[in-house]
Amino acid sequence: MGCLHVANLHVALARGKFRDCVLDVPLQALSMLRSMSVPLSQAQDQVCFKPEWRSEVLSSSTIPCQGHLGCVCNEFLGDQLRRKKSDIRGFYIQRLPLVSISEPLYRELKVRVRRTQGQIVYKRLKERTDQYDTRGLVRREESKEKIGGADDVFVGDVRDVESIIPAIQGIDSLIILTSAAPKMKPGFDLGKGGRPEFYFEDGLYPEQVDWIGQKNQIDAAKAAGVKHIVLVGSMGGTNPNHPLNSLGNGNILDWKRKAEQYLADSGVPYTIIRAGGLQDKEGGIRELLVGKDDELLNTETKTVTRDDVAEVSIQALQFEEAKFKAFDLASKPERVGTPTKDFKALFSQITTQF
């Protein structure tokens, strides 16, 4: 499957026209389709497609899109948008820093298997055996098998604090990326217009996952004497009317914000990272930006790669300068600015505690 950067490219999305075509667009566009129409070249993402569809993609039409509050990969199979779930719920590291990681807010609608945030962090930590002993936490046995089924991968449910205690006992640091994931209601027809509707499965609403699930992890970590908790959330939480709150009537950013405040008040040293729109692109090659109070959402630089979020999460475990800090995270476009390598300096410029 080839890739084409969309600078100076517009894409027509007619009903059934781009079968097997993959398009990266902001998550907000899914909830606000047809609310406006702008050239896709403004999206700064990639259109990925099979070579035989190249001539179809090179079109002069436009796709409705708005903002960069989260990137997903849309699968256009005729007039259906299907969603393939991933179930990684957490990762922990024992000795030195440990990490608990769950899937971030922005999952993907996808044609092909893409890496989740948890998989990225877990892989990176496993590659650094001189620094970390890593544990994983997944919700289901089949998810454990998908990542190798190692003995250091535990099965538990963050909504049930007793089930996650074995994974947390003996760890030193914890990274949390837990998030509820909305599903798209069946029957949405891109060709007919309108807006897709979303819902959360019973028991998996943001209140249960992003609030209770994160609170359970914080409580268990505090009881176990964990020395540092890194919590990865999302920008947008200062706006109660943010479109993401309307998805499935879940108020997801409100519940995330409540969990962040709970962590800040817990007494455990913490780092709260509020990521911008997540991109599945190569990390380590962009200049990272930190901000506060969603100020970056009012700029052109409000996205960040999953790889960079993972690296910042891990680097936060290394530096005292990252503790008792809360910040927004985004990046400049590739080849603009200087790629961030000095993470101590990055954390040192942050002054906000919440």
Residues annotated catalytic, as ranges = 234
Whether the Cβ atoms of residue 313 and residue 346 lie closer than 8 Å to each other = no
